Amino acid sequence: MIRSLGVLREVLRGRRIPLWVEVVENRKDVPQRVVQLAREWGAKRIYANMEYEVDEARRDVRMLEEGMKRGVGVEVVHDTCVVPPGRCVTKATGKMFAVYSPWYKAYLQALSQDPALLTLRPPPAANPESTLTTRAALFTSALPSLPPGKTLTAEETLTLHELYPAGSQAAAAQLASFLTQKGRQYAADRNTPSISGTSGLSPHFSAGTLSARTAVFHARAANSGKLSGGQSGLDMWISEVAWRDFYRHVLAAFPHVCMHKPFKPSFASILWLAPSSPLHSTRFSAWKAGRTGFPLVDAAMRQLAKEKFMPNRLRMVVASFLCKDLHIDWRLGEQYFAEQLVDGDFASNNGGWGFASSAGVDPQPYFRVFNPTAQGLTWDADGAYVRTWVEELRDYRGDVWKITEQERRCYGYPREIVEHAVQRRVAIEMYKRGIERGKGVV
Protein backbone atom coordinates (compact mmCIF):
# COMPACT_ATOMS: atom_id res chain seq x y z
CA MET A 1 0.00 0.00 0.00
CA ILE A 2 2.81 2.39 0.84
CA ARG A 3 4.58 1.59 -2.44
CA SER A 4 1.34 2.25 -4.31
CA LEU A 5 0.99 5.60 -2.58
CA GLY A 6 4.44 6.45 -3.91
CA VAL A 7 3.39 5.54 -7.45
CA LEU A 8 0.15 7.51 -7.11
CA ARG A 9 2.01 10.54 -5.78
CA GLU A 10 4.21 10.66 -8.88
CA VAL A 11 1.28 10.17 -11.26
CA LEU A 12 -0.65 12.99 -9.58
CA ARG A 13 2.40 15.21 -9.46
CA GLY A 14 2.56 14.90 -13.23
CA ARG A 15 -0.87 16.53 -13.21
CA ARG A 16 0.24 19.12 -10.61
CA ILE A 17 -2.10 17.52 -8.05
CA PRO A 18 -0.61 17.12 -4.57
CA LEU A 19 -1.04 13.95 -2.54
CA TRP A 20 -0.72 14.53 1.19
CA VAL A 21 0.18 11.45 3.25
CA GLU A 22 0.26 11.63 7.02
CA VAL A 23 0.22 9.15 9.89
CA VAL A 24 -2.11 9.85 12.82
CA GLU A 25 -1.09 7.60 15.69
CA ASN A 26 -4.46 7.44 17.49
CA ARG A 27 -7.56 6.46 15.57
CA LYS A 28 -9.75 8.81 17.62
CA ASP A 29 -7.70 11.80 16.42
CA VAL A 30 -8.21 11.15 12.69
CA PRO A 31 -11.49 13.10 12.21
CA GLN A 32 -10.16 16.21 13.98
CA ARG A 33 -6.90 16.13 12.04
CA VAL A 34 -8.58 15.73 8.62
CA VAL A 35 -10.92 18.65 9.29
CA GLN A 36 -8.02 20.72 10.62
CA LEU A 37 -6.05 20.15 7.42
CA ALA A 38 -9.07 21.09 5.32
CA ARG A 39 -9.37 24.37 7.16
CA GLU A 40 -5.64 25.08 6.83
CA TRP A 41 -5.85 24.53 3.07
CA GLY A 42 -9.04 26.54 2.64
CA ALA A 43 -11.05 23.51 1.55
CA LYS A 44 -14.81 23.82 2.00
CA ARG A 45 -15.71 20.17 1.62
CA ILE A 46 -14.25 16.72 2.29
CA TYR A 47 -15.22 13.70 0.21
CA ALA A 48 -14.46 10.15 1.26
CA ASN A 49 -15.39 6.63 0.22
CA MET A 50 -17.49 4.82 2.78
CA GLU A 51 -16.04 1.88 4.71
CA TYR A 52 -18.45 -0.51 6.38
CA GLU A 53 -16.45 -1.88 9.31
CA VAL A 54 -17.77 -0.57 12.61
CA ASP A 55 -14.66 1.35 13.69
CA GLU A 56 -14.34 3.04 10.31
CA ALA A 57 -18.05 3.90 10.20
CA ARG A 58 -17.80 5.49 13.65
CA ARG A 59 -14.75 7.44 12.51
CA ASP A 60 -16.68 8.88 9.59
CA VAL A 61 -19.60 9.88 11.81
CA ARG A 62 -17.19 11.71 14.11
CA MET A 63 -15.61 13.40 11.10
CA LEU A 64 -19.04 14.58 9.98
CA GLU A 65 -19.69 15.97 13.47
CA GLU A 66 -16.28 17.64 13.56
CA GLY A 67 -16.85 19.20 10.15
CA MET A 68 -20.22 20.58 11.20
CA LYS A 69 -18.64 22.21 14.24
CA ARG A 70 -15.88 23.83 12.19
CA GLY A 71 -17.73 24.80 9.03
CA VAL A 72 -16.37 22.09 6.73
CA GLY A 73 -18.80 19.91 4.78
CA VAL A 74 -18.18 16.16 4.86
CA GLU A 75 -19.69 13.79 2.30
CA VAL A 76 -19.06 10.06 2.58
CA VAL A 77 -20.20 8.16 -0.50
CA HIS A 78 -20.73 4.54 -1.53
CA ASP A 79 -17.92 3.62 -3.88
CA THR A 80 -16.01 0.58 -2.64
CA CYS A 81 -18.87 -1.69 -3.76
CA VAL A 82 -20.21 -1.95 -7.29
CA VAL A 83 -23.75 -2.13 -5.91
CA PRO A 84 -24.26 -0.14 -2.67
CA PRO A 85 -25.34 -2.07 0.45
CA GLY A 86 -29.10 -2.09 0.87
CA ARG A 87 -29.80 -2.55 -2.85
CA CYS A 88 -29.68 -6.36 -2.84
CA VAL A 89 -32.38 -7.43 -0.39
CA THR A 90 -35.18 -9.97 -0.19
CA LYS A 91 -38.46 -8.99 -1.80
CA ALA A 92 -40.47 -10.42 1.07
CA THR A 93 -38.80 -8.66 3.99
CA GLY A 94 -36.48 -6.08 2.47
CA LYS A 95 -33.61 -7.53 4.50
CA MET A 96 -30.11 -8.52 3.48
CA PHE A 97 -29.69 -12.04 2.10
CA ALA A 98 -27.77 -14.48 4.28
CA VAL A 99 -27.04 -16.75 1.28
CA TYR A 100 -24.89 -15.75 -1.67
CA SER A 101 -26.79 -17.28 -4.62
CA PRO A 102 -30.04 -15.27 -4.29
CA TRP A 103 -27.99 -12.21 -3.35
CA TYR A 104 -25.99 -12.57 -6.59
CA LYS A 105 -29.18 -12.75 -8.63
CA ALA A 106 -30.28 -9.49 -7.02
CA TYR A 107 -26.82 -8.04 -7.70
CA LEU A 108 -27.03 -8.87 -11.41
CA GLN A 109 -30.55 -7.49 -11.52
CA ALA A 110 -29.40 -4.23 -9.91
CA LEU A 111 -26.67 -3.83 -12.53
CA SER A 112 -29.14 -4.56 -15.31
CA GLN A 113 -31.65 -2.01 -14.02
CA ASP A 114 -29.07 0.66 -13.23
CA PRO A 115 -26.22 0.52 -15.79
CA ALA A 116 -24.74 3.70 -14.27
CA LEU A 117 -23.44 1.55 -11.41
CA LEU A 118 -20.72 0.34 -13.79
CA THR A 119 -19.82 3.79 -15.11
CA LEU A 120 -16.10 4.51 -14.83
CA ARG A 121 -14.98 8.01 -13.96
CA PRO A 122 -12.33 9.82 -16.00
CA PRO A 123 -9.06 10.77 -14.28
CA PRO A 124 -8.85 14.30 -12.86
CA ALA A 125 -7.71 17.11 -15.12
CA ALA A 126 -4.31 18.64 -14.51
CA ASN A 127 -3.95 21.74 -12.34
CA PRO A 128 -2.27 24.85 -13.76
CA GLU A 129 1.52 24.87 -13.84
CA SER A 130 1.48 27.59 -11.20
CA THR A 131 0.13 25.11 -8.62
CA LEU A 132 3.64 23.75 -8.13
CA THR A 133 4.70 27.13 -6.74
CA THR A 134 1.52 28.54 -5.21
CA ARG A 135 0.83 25.29 -3.37
CA ALA A 136 4.41 24.10 -3.06
CA ALA A 137 4.05 23.07 0.59
CA LEU A 138 1.40 20.48 -0.34
CA PHE A 139 3.92 18.56 -2.43
CA THR A 140 6.32 18.01 0.48
CA SER A 141 4.77 15.19 2.54
CA ALA A 142 6.92 12.09 2.89
CA LEU A 143 5.73 8.50 2.66
CA PRO A 144 5.59 6.77 6.04
CA SER A 145 8.00 4.02 7.01
CA LEU A 146 6.68 0.55 7.74
CA PRO A 147 4.83 0.40 11.07
CA PRO A 148 6.30 -1.49 14.04
CA GLY A 149 5.99 -5.23 13.64
CA LYS A 150 5.64 -4.99 9.86
CA THR A 151 9.27 -4.50 8.85
CA LEU A 152 10.74 -6.77 6.17
CA THR A 153 14.12 -8.37 5.70
CA ALA A 154 16.05 -7.57 2.53
CA GLU A 155 15.09 -10.98 1.12
CA GLU A 156 11.40 -10.48 1.95
CA THR A 157 11.46 -7.02 0.41
CA LEU A 158 12.93 -8.34 -2.83
CA THR A 159 10.50 -11.27 -3.00
CA LEU A 160 7.37 -9.25 -2.29
CA HIS A 161 8.34 -6.37 -4.57
CA GLU A 162 8.86 -8.81 -7.44
CA LEU A 163 5.63 -10.70 -6.78
CA TYR A 164 3.40 -7.69 -6.24
CA PRO A 165 4.14 -4.66 -8.45
CA ALA A 166 2.61 -1.53 -6.94
CA GLY A 167 0.22 1.00 -8.38
CA SER A 168 -2.94 1.16 -10.46
CA GLN A 169 -1.04 0.97 -13.75
CA ALA A 170 0.39 -2.39 -12.72
CA ALA A 171 -3.09 -3.51 -11.69
CA ALA A 172 -4.58 -2.44 -15.03
CA ALA A 173 -1.90 -4.32 -16.96
CA GLN A 174 -2.41 -7.45 -14.87
CA LEU A 175 -6.19 -7.27 -15.31
CA ALA A 176 -5.86 -6.94 -19.09
CA SER A 177 -3.45 -9.86 -19.24
CA PHE A 178 -5.73 -12.07 -17.16
CA LEU A 179 -8.87 -11.28 -19.18
CA THR A 180 -7.16 -12.03 -22.50
CA GLN A 181 -5.18 -15.08 -21.39
CA LYS A 182 -6.14 -17.05 -18.28
CA GLY A 183 -9.63 -15.65 -17.76
CA ARG A 184 -11.46 -17.99 -20.12
CA GLN A 185 -9.99 -21.01 -18.31
CA TYR A 186 -10.66 -19.59 -14.87
CA ALA A 187 -13.58 -21.91 -14.04
CA ALA A 188 -11.51 -24.98 -14.88
CA ASP A 189 -8.17 -23.87 -13.45
CA ARG A 190 -8.90 -21.71 -10.40
CA ASN A 191 -8.76 -24.57 -7.87
CA THR A 192 -5.54 -26.15 -9.16
CA PRO A 193 -2.77 -24.45 -7.15
CA SER A 194 0.16 -25.78 -9.17
CA ILE A 195 -0.87 -23.88 -12.32
CA SER A 196 -1.84 -20.54 -10.70
CA GLY A 197 -5.14 -20.30 -12.52
CA THR A 198 -6.41 -17.30 -10.59
CA SER A 199 -6.06 -13.64 -11.57
CA GLY A 200 -3.70 -12.77 -8.70
CA LEU A 201 -5.45 -9.39 -8.44
CA SER A 202 -6.63 -9.64 -4.84
CA PRO A 203 -3.62 -7.64 -3.52
CA HIS A 204 -4.69 -4.77 -5.79
CA PHE A 205 -8.30 -5.00 -4.63
CA SER A 206 -7.08 -4.90 -1.04
CA ALA A 207 -4.66 -2.00 -1.55
CA GLY A 208 -7.21 0.05 -3.46
CA THR A 209 -5.24 0.11 -6.72
CA LEU A 210 -8.05 -1.74 -8.50
CA SER A 211 -11.75 -1.30 -7.80
CA ALA A 212 -14.36 -4.03 -8.16
CA ARG A 213 -16.23 -1.67 -10.49
CA THR A 214 -13.27 -1.38 -12.85
CA ALA A 215 -12.69 -5.13 -12.78
CA VAL A 216 -16.32 -6.03 -13.53
CA PHE A 217 -16.57 -3.32 -16.22
CA HIS A 218 -13.62 -4.73 -18.15
CA ALA A 219 -14.57 -8.35 -17.50
CA ARG A 220 -18.03 -7.68 -18.95
CA ALA A 221 -16.44 -6.15 -22.06
CA ALA A 222 -14.18 -9.20 -22.47
CA ASN A 223 -17.22 -11.43 -21.96
CA SER A 224 -19.04 -10.14 -25.05
CA GLY A 225 -20.80 -7.48 -23.00
CA LYS A 226 -22.33 -10.03 -20.62
CA LEU A 227 -22.17 -10.32 -16.83
CA SER A 228 -23.43 -13.89 -17.08
CA GLY A 229 -24.27 -16.26 -19.90
CA GLY A 230 -20.98 -15.67 -21.70
CA GLN A 231 -17.70 -17.55 -21.36
CA SER A 232 -17.88 -19.86 -18.33
CA GLY A 233 -14.48 -18.71 -17.02
CA LEU A 234 -15.32 -15.01 -17.17
CA ASP A 235 -18.83 -15.63 -15.82
CA MET A 236 -17.25 -17.38 -12.85
CA TRP A 237 -14.66 -14.67 -12.30
CA ILE A 238 -17.27 -11.90 -12.27
CA SER A 239 -19.20 -13.94 -9.71
CA GLU A 240 -16.06 -14.32 -7.58
CA VAL A 241 -15.38 -10.57 -7.68
CA ALA A 242 -18.98 -10.06 -6.56
CA TRP A 243 -18.26 -12.07 -3.41
CA ARG A 244 -16.24 -9.05 -2.24
CA ASP A 245 -19.36 -6.89 -2.45
CA PHE A 246 -21.41 -9.60 -0.74
CA TYR A 247 -19.17 -9.69 2.32
CA ARG A 248 -19.20 -5.88 2.54
CA HIS A 249 -22.98 -5.92 2.38
CA VAL A 250 -22.90 -8.41 5.26
CA LEU A 251 -20.78 -5.98 7.30
CA ALA A 252 -23.22 -3.18 6.67
CA ALA A 253 -26.28 -5.25 7.54
CA PHE A 254 -24.85 -7.31 10.41
CA PRO A 255 -22.21 -5.16 12.18
CA HIS A 256 -21.79 -7.69 15.00
CA VAL A 257 -19.49 -9.71 12.71
CA CYS A 258 -16.96 -6.88 13.21
CA MET A 259 -17.07 -7.43 16.96
CA HIS A 260 -15.28 -10.76 17.31
CA LYS A 261 -18.62 -12.56 17.13
CA PRO A 262 -19.88 -15.28 14.78
CA PHE A 263 -22.65 -14.41 12.35
CA LYS A 264 -24.77 -17.13 13.96
CA PRO A 265 -25.15 -16.29 17.67
CA SER A 266 -25.66 -19.93 18.66
CA PHE A 267 -22.16 -20.75 17.42
CA ALA A 268 -20.67 -18.53 20.12
CA SER A 269 -21.28 -21.39 22.59
CA ILE A 270 -18.94 -23.88 20.92
CA LEU A 271 -16.19 -24.92 23.32
CA TRP A 272 -12.95 -24.74 21.35
CA LEU A 273 -9.70 -26.21 22.55
CA ALA A 274 -8.61 -24.05 25.51
CA PRO A 275 -5.78 -21.60 24.62
CA SER A 276 -4.16 -22.40 27.97
CA SER A 277 -3.80 -26.04 27.00
CA PRO A 278 -0.32 -27.24 25.95
CA LEU A 279 -2.06 -29.15 23.16
CA HIS A 280 -3.44 -25.87 21.83
CA SER A 281 0.01 -24.33 21.64
CA THR A 282 1.48 -27.41 19.96
CA ARG A 283 -1.26 -27.66 17.37
CA PHE A 284 -1.50 -23.95 16.59
CA SER A 285 2.28 -23.64 16.22
CA ALA A 286 2.43 -26.65 13.90
CA TRP A 287 -0.39 -25.24 11.77
CA LYS A 288 1.27 -21.83 11.41
CA ALA A 289 4.66 -23.37 10.61
CA GLY A 290 3.31 -25.87 8.06
CA ARG A 291 4.41 -28.83 10.17
CA THR A 292 1.13 -30.73 10.63
CA GLY A 293 2.12 -33.77 8.58
CA PHE A 294 -0.73 -33.17 6.13
CA PRO A 295 1.05 -32.24 2.88
CA LEU A 296 -1.59 -29.93 1.37
CA VAL A 297 -2.07 -28.00 4.62
CA ASP A 298 1.67 -27.66 5.13
CA ALA A 299 2.34 -26.56 1.55
CA ALA A 300 -0.33 -23.86 1.76
CA MET A 301 0.89 -22.53 5.10
CA ARG A 302 4.48 -22.41 3.87
CA GLN A 303 3.43 -20.51 0.78
CA LEU A 304 1.65 -18.05 3.07
CA ALA A 305 4.82 -17.60 5.13
CA LYS A 306 6.97 -17.01 2.04
CA GLU A 307 4.69 -15.13 -0.35
CA LYS A 308 2.03 -13.76 2.04
CA PHE A 309 -0.56 -15.31 -0.25
CA MET A 310 -2.56 -18.51 -0.55
CA PRO A 311 -5.00 -19.70 -3.26
CA ASN A 312 -8.64 -19.49 -2.18
CA ARG A 313 -9.32 -23.23 -2.32
CA LEU A 314 -6.45 -23.82 0.07
CA ARG A 315 -7.63 -21.07 2.41
CA MET A 316 -10.80 -23.11 2.86
CA VAL A 317 -8.82 -26.31 3.41
CA VAL A 318 -6.45 -24.94 6.04
CA ALA A 319 -9.27 -23.05 7.79
CA SER A 320 -11.43 -26.17 8.00
CA PHE A 321 -8.40 -28.09 9.26
CA LEU A 322 -7.70 -25.59 12.04
CA CYS A 323 -11.30 -25.55 13.27
CA LYS A 324 -12.49 -29.09 12.65
CA ASP A 325 -9.32 -31.19 12.88
CA LEU A 326 -7.39 -29.21 15.49
CA HIS A 327 -10.49 -27.74 17.22
CA ILE A 328 -8.96 -24.27 17.51
CA ASP A 329 -11.19 -21.19 17.52
CA TRP A 330 -11.61 -19.87 13.97
CA ARG A 331 -11.05 -16.30 15.17
CA LEU A 332 -7.40 -17.08 15.92
CA GLY A 333 -6.98 -18.26 12.34
CA GLU A 334 -8.79 -15.18 11.05
CA GLN A 335 -6.41 -12.98 13.03
CA TYR A 336 -3.33 -14.85 11.79
CA PHE A 337 -4.44 -14.53 8.17
CA ALA A 338 -5.12 -10.81 8.66
CA GLU A 339 -1.56 -10.38 9.92
CA GLN A 340 0.03 -12.38 7.10
CA LEU A 341 -1.90 -11.91 3.86
CA VAL A 342 -0.72 -9.34 1.32
CA ASP A 343 -4.35 -9.17 0.17
CA GLY A 344 -5.68 -8.92 3.72
CA ASP A 345 -9.23 -7.56 3.63
CA PHE A 346 -11.43 -7.63 6.71
CA ALA A 347 -14.73 -8.41 5.00
CA SER A 348 -13.44 -11.19 2.74
CA ASN A 349 -11.20 -12.68 5.42
CA ASN A 350 -13.98 -12.70 8.00
CA GLY A 351 -16.44 -14.11 5.48
CA GLY A 352 -14.06 -16.85 4.41
CA TRP A 353 -13.36 -17.95 7.95
CA GLY A 354 -17.06 -17.81 8.74
CA PHE A 355 -17.74 -20.10 5.79
CA ALA A 356 -15.01 -22.62 6.63
CA SER A 357 -15.84 -22.74 10.35
CA SER A 358 -19.59 -22.95 9.60
CA ALA A 359 -20.13 -19.99 11.97
CA GLY A 360 -20.57 -17.34 9.29
CA VAL A 361 -22.95 -16.21 6.59
CA ASP A 362 -23.73 -18.74 3.81
CA PRO A 363 -21.55 -21.38 5.51
CA GLN A 364 -20.76 -24.95 4.71
CA PRO A 365 -22.76 -27.17 7.13
CA TYR A 366 -20.89 -27.87 10.36
CA PHE A 367 -20.90 -31.60 9.63
CA ARG A 368 -19.10 -31.04 6.33
CA VAL A 369 -15.42 -31.38 7.13
CA PHE A 370 -12.79 -31.06 4.42
CA ASN A 371 -10.54 -34.10 4.27
CA PRO A 372 -7.12 -32.55 3.56
CA THR A 373 -5.81 -35.69 1.89
CA ALA A 374 -8.87 -36.06 -0.35
CA GLN A 375 -8.61 -32.37 -1.25
CA GLY A 376 -4.99 -32.96 -2.20
CA LEU A 377 -5.86 -35.93 -4.40
CA THR A 378 -8.52 -33.85 -6.13
CA TRP A 379 -6.60 -30.62 -6.72
CA ASP A 380 -2.93 -31.69 -6.63
CA ALA A 381 -3.05 -35.34 -7.64
CA ASP A 382 0.56 -35.48 -8.81
CA GLY A 383 1.82 -33.57 -5.77
CA ALA A 384 3.39 -30.79 -7.87
CA TYR A 385 2.16 -28.02 -5.58
CA VAL A 386 3.20 -29.90 -2.45
CA ARG A 387 6.71 -30.51 -3.79
CA THR A 388 7.04 -26.81 -4.60
CA TRP A 389 6.50 -25.76 -0.99
CA VAL A 390 7.32 -28.75 1.24
CA GLU A 391 11.07 -28.93 0.93
CA GLU A 392 11.34 -32.31 2.66
CA LEU A 393 9.22 -33.93 -0.06
CA ARG A 394 10.81 -32.20 -3.04
CA ASP A 395 12.92 -35.24 -3.93
CA TYR A 396 10.34 -37.81 -2.83
CA ARG A 397 9.24 -39.71 -5.92
CA GLY A 398 6.41 -41.69 -4.41
CA ASP A 399 2.76 -40.71 -4.02
CA VAL A 400 2.78 -37.87 -1.45
CA TRP A 401 -0.79 -38.78 -0.49
CA LYS A 402 0.25 -42.31 0.51
CA ILE A 403 3.60 -41.61 2.14
CA THR A 404 4.37 -44.11 4.91
CA GLU A 405 5.60 -43.41 8.43
CA GLN A 406 8.98 -44.91 7.57
CA GLU A 407 9.29 -42.68 4.49
CA ARG A 408 8.34 -39.65 6.56
CA ARG A 409 11.18 -40.39 8.97
CA CYS A 410 13.59 -40.98 6.10
CA TYR A 411 12.78 -37.62 4.47
CA GLY A 412 12.49 -35.69 7.74
CA TYR A 413 8.80 -34.93 7.24
CA PRO A 414 6.60 -34.97 10.38
CA ARG A 415 3.94 -37.55 11.04
CA GLU A 416 0.31 -36.45 10.97
CA ILE A 417 -0.40 -34.37 14.05
CA VAL A 418 -3.93 -35.80 14.38
CA GLU A 419 -5.99 -38.63 12.88
CA HIS A 420 -8.48 -36.95 10.58
CA ALA A 421 -11.29 -39.50 10.84
CA VAL A 422 -11.21 -39.38 14.63
CA GLN A 423 -11.04 -35.59 14.88
CA ARG A 424 -13.86 -35.22 12.38
CA ARG A 425 -16.18 -37.17 14.68
CA VAL A 426 -15.02 -35.17 17.69
CA ALA A 427 -15.62 -31.90 15.84
CA ILE A 428 -19.17 -32.83 14.83
CA GLU A 429 -20.04 -33.66 18.42
CA MET A 430 -18.32 -30.47 19.61
CA TYR A 431 -20.44 -28.43 17.22
CA LYS A 432 -23.65 -30.26 18.12
CA ARG A 433 -23.20 -29.64 21.84
CA GLY A 434 -22.19 -26.01 21.31
CA ILE A 435 -25.15 -25.24 19.07
CA GLU A 436 -27.52 -26.90 21.54
CA ARG A 437 -26.10 -24.78 24.37
CA GLY A 438 -26.44 -21.69 22.20
CA LYS A 439 -30.09 -22.15 21.29
CA GLY A 440 -32.04 -19.06 22.13
CA VAL A 441 -28.95 -16.85 22.10
CA VAL A 442 -29.57 -13.58 20.22
Catalytic residue (one of 237, 353, 389, 401): 353
Task: Find the catalytic residue in 53, 127, 240, 307.
Answer: 240
- Candidate list 53, 307, 312, 407, residue with the active-site label: 312
Active site residue 436: no
**CA–CA distance, 412 with 406 (Å, rounded to integer):** 10
To the query of whether residue 237 is one of the catalytic residues in this protein, the response is no
Query: Residue 422 CA to chain centroid, in angstroms?
Result: 32
3-state DSSP percent of the chain in helix, strand and coil, to 5 = 60, 5, 40
Give me the phi and psi of 96, to 5 degrees please. -65, 140
For 287, phi then psi, to 5°, come to -65, -50
Helix (H) or strand (E) holding 8, with range, is helix 2-13
* 171: helix, strand or coil: helix
Known active-site residue 312: yes
Active site annotation includes 20: no
Of the residues 243, 287, 389, 401, which is catalytic?
243
- Which of 103, 237, 330, 401 is catalytic? The answer is 330
Q: Among residues 272, 379, 407, 416, which one is catalytic? A: 272
Q: Is 240 a catalytic residue?
A: yes
Q: For the residues of 202-239, what is the DSSP string, one character each?
A: HHHHHHTSS-HHHHHHHHHHHTTT-SSSS-HHHHHHHH
353 is catalytic: yes
Separation of alpha carbons 206 and 72, rounded Å: 30
Integer Cα distance of 350 and 333 in angstroms: 10
CB 414 within 8 A of CB 325: no
* Side chain identity at residue 46, one-letter code: I
- Between CA 441 and CA 27 the distance in angstroms is 32
Rounded Cα distance, 104 and 242, in Å: 7
How many CB atoms within 10 Å of residue 173?
12
Per the document, the length of the chain is 442
Catalytic residues, by residue number, are: 240, 243, 272, 312, 330, 353
